[in-house]
Amino acid sequence: MRRSDVKLRRAMASVLLLWVTLASGAEPEGNKAVCDYETTVKAKIGPSSGWLWPSGSSAIKTDFQKVYDDVIFGKKSPAAAAAQVVSDAQQSLKS
C-alpha cells in the first residue's frame, strides 16, 4: 500500500469518527436533518473515499473567503460578490 493511500485512509477514518460523533448529538432538529440527508445520499452514490476533487477546486475556497470578507466589511455588495464567486469558480475549474 502506498504511503498516500495510508494517509487517505487515516484521514477518512478521522472524518467518519467526527461525523458519527456530530450526527449522534445533532441539535436542533435541523442539524439532524442534514446528517440524515447525507446518509440518504451516501446510500445512493456510495462512499466518498473514491471521489476526487476536480482540479482547481481548492482555489474556490480561497477565492470565496476573499469575496466573503469583502462583503462582511462592506467593500462589495452581496450580488456583486455572488457574481464574482461564480466567475472565479468557473475560471479555477478551467485551470
Query: What pLDDT digit, counting tens, does each position of 30-73 carry?
Result: 666 777 777 777 777 666 655 667 777 788 888 889 988 999 89
Please determine, for residue 87, whether its predicted confidence score (pLDDT) is greater than 70. Answer: yes
Task: Give residue 75's pLDDT.
Answer: 93
What is the spatial distance between Cα 87 and Cα 94, in angstroms, rounded to a whole number?
Answer: 11
- The DSSP result for the chain, as a single string, is --HHHHHHHHHHHHHHHHHHHHHHT--SHHHHHHHHHHHHHHHHH--GGG--PPTTHHHHHHHHHHHHHHHHTTSS-HHHHHHHHHHHHHHHHH-
pTM of the full structure: 0.43
Domain ranges of the chain: 3-50, 57-94
Q: Cis check for the bond before 28: say yes or no (omega within 30 of 0).
A: yes
70 or 94, higher pLDDT: 70
